[in-house]
Amino acid sequence: MQSNQYLVRNRATQFACVTFPQSGRAPRWYSSILRLLSLGALVSSIFFLAPVIPTALADGGAPNLAYIAGSSQGIAVFDIAQQKVTKNFPLGGDPSMLYLTLDGRYLYVAQPALNRVSMLNTTTGQVVCSANVPGQPTLLAFDAGTGLLYAAGNGASGITAIIGNTCTIKKVIATDGPVYGLATAEVGSGPNGGTGNQLWFSTNSSLNVYTQQSDKIRSIPVPGNPQYISIPPGATVYVTTRQGTFLAVSLQTLQATPPLVTGGEFGPMDFDAFTGEIYVPDKKHNAVDVMTPIFYGGSIPHEPNHVIDLNVAPQSVAVTFDGNLGFFALAGGNVAMYDILGKDMSKTFSVGGSPRFIITGVYPPAVRDSPQNNANGSPIPANMLTILAGVAILLLVVIAVLLVLARRRRVVSE
């Protein structure tokens, strides 16, 4: 019996040779296999061939809970669906900046009055572990590629690198002075950027870039005493200064723009992960400035895009990951919830004390793993999940092909 051979392109096996009897057209089972293989190849190409682009990734949170540092009891927990404060975590040390793990299980808190950084269980509010950090730490930044939490303050020189799941100090990065701003850019290759990510920090007169892989620091002169740093998705770093200016720096060239806004007194920023807009609290003018994102190689827009007027000084801002809500910590013990799409103030609620930082995120899971198994709050890195999903799909396709071929051989033998 004569036969024709059809070659089917497949990423995992390169070429699979399929043989069937000579006829006017391919049999029905072959068409089914071809569809399965085509689907497998398409999906695998999506998972495996996506280009690697050196851009920073978003670090926002889902719109379930908002954690407010500096409330009358330490940290207040606001349930967005219930529209009220549902928990308080009593914590001393003048809680300042916060970092929440991606799955919402653990909250890291800078406690400058105690020279300490603590990790809290978000279900109970109990301290899981702590690290002693000199310099009155008020700044935190997390590198998902290495599982390191960076902490610093303007009470001393140096940045402390903490192993996220144990609160063990790994090393101290020497700086040329006190640190006033801290942020990470996920620009490396490998899971979550691996060791190639960048740590950006500001000192008295310069913006600095540290890469763990090379263990080197590159400094960028920035007039006006750089302070807070925000790195949205894309290739631009945004910086405020203690002299009241706002500017941008290219991730590619490390070149800074001239001041885009002047005359303000700015607090910690956040960004809308969908639009790329940057929300900058201006204490001097009782407003939040919303900045248009700047794209590498494009023209510099007029800033700000628009201004959200308030009747009290905002201390910091947080934007939910879906880009629907903004939270503004206000002087006097209140927090405002802002409807971004409707451009309207939805609700103002009291937390007491002096709220100074907000972060949003998901509800904590009902079942918890040990923090020692989970450095960044995600059991498996997101890009590893995509690889595993692609492999699983290819395996299903191969199994389907083998089952069809086995059935055909059985029919022929009978």
pLDDT in tens, 168-189: 999 999 999 999 999 999 998 8
pLDDT reported for residue 67: 98
Residue 351: pLDDT band with limits 50, 70, 90: very high
The structural domains of the chain, with segments of one domain joined by +, span: 3-50+381-413, 65-373
Residue 92 contacts residue 74 (beta carbons within 8 Å) = yes
Identify which of 42-46, 202-206, 363-367, 386-390 has the greatest average pLDDT.
202-206
pLDDT reported for residue 369: 58
Number of Cβ within a 10 Å radius of residue 413: 6
* Selected residue with higher pLDDT from 293 and 29: 293
pLDDT in tens, 291-315: 999 987 788 999 999 999 999 999 9
The token pair that represents 149 in the structure block: 């939490």
Kindly report the CATH number that applies to the domain delimited by 65-373.
2.130.10.10
pLDDT in tens, 194-246: 899 999 999 999 999 999 888 999 999 999 999 999 999 889 999 999 999 99
**Alpha carbon distance 381, 111 (integer Å):** 29
**Alpha carbon distance 144, 146 (integer Å):** 6
